Amino acid sequence: MKKNALFLLSLFISLSLFSQIDKSEKIKYRKLPYADFKKLSVNDTSSAVIDLFFDKKDNAIYNQMSLLPLTIILLAIPPAHFVGVGSAAISVPLFINGSYTLVKYRKKKLYMVLTEYKQTQNLPIWVRKKVNRRLKNYELLPINY
């Protein structure tokens, strides 16, 4: 009796493990490149949203967060300790602001904003204000052929 029960249990476990049921695949948003988001673009507004998110992320990484490693190096060198303390006073708040910007403009939030915009044609208020400014700047750019 125990052998039959163990055999049936192992049979059901193996069938459930090797079944070809398509489970919902999770999208890894952080691995999506710019081109995949451009495919989700419906019009100029959604294109401006994509540009806004990617520009903010790039600026946060390169402009705000790049000073902290240099500051740590300056703090580690004893003769430059005074300069390191001064640059730490500047770079630590910039690093915190850059970290906040990376969280605020992450790719998952971009994907959610784009899918919501595609369905309802409405943007969140904080995104709409920035995108309207960006679209006005696009109109002011001269087009050279």
pLDDT tens-digit readout, 48-95 = 999 999 999 888 888 888 888 888 888 888 887 788 888 888 899 999
For the whole model, what pTM was predicted? Answer: 0.71
Q: Which two tokens stand for residue 54?
A: 């990617």
Question: What distances in angstroms separate CA 31 from CA 35, 57, 102, 108, 145, one per listed residue?
Answer: 11, 14, 15, 10, 35
Q: What is the pLDDT of residue 11?
A: 74
Tell which residue, 35, 37, 28, 33, has the closest CA to residue 110: 37
**Digit-coded pLDDT (tens) for 97-143:** 999 998 999 999 999 999 999 999 889 999 999 998 988 888 776 76
Q: What is the pLDDT of residue 107?
A: 92
> From the CA atom positions of the chain, what is the Rg in Å?
25
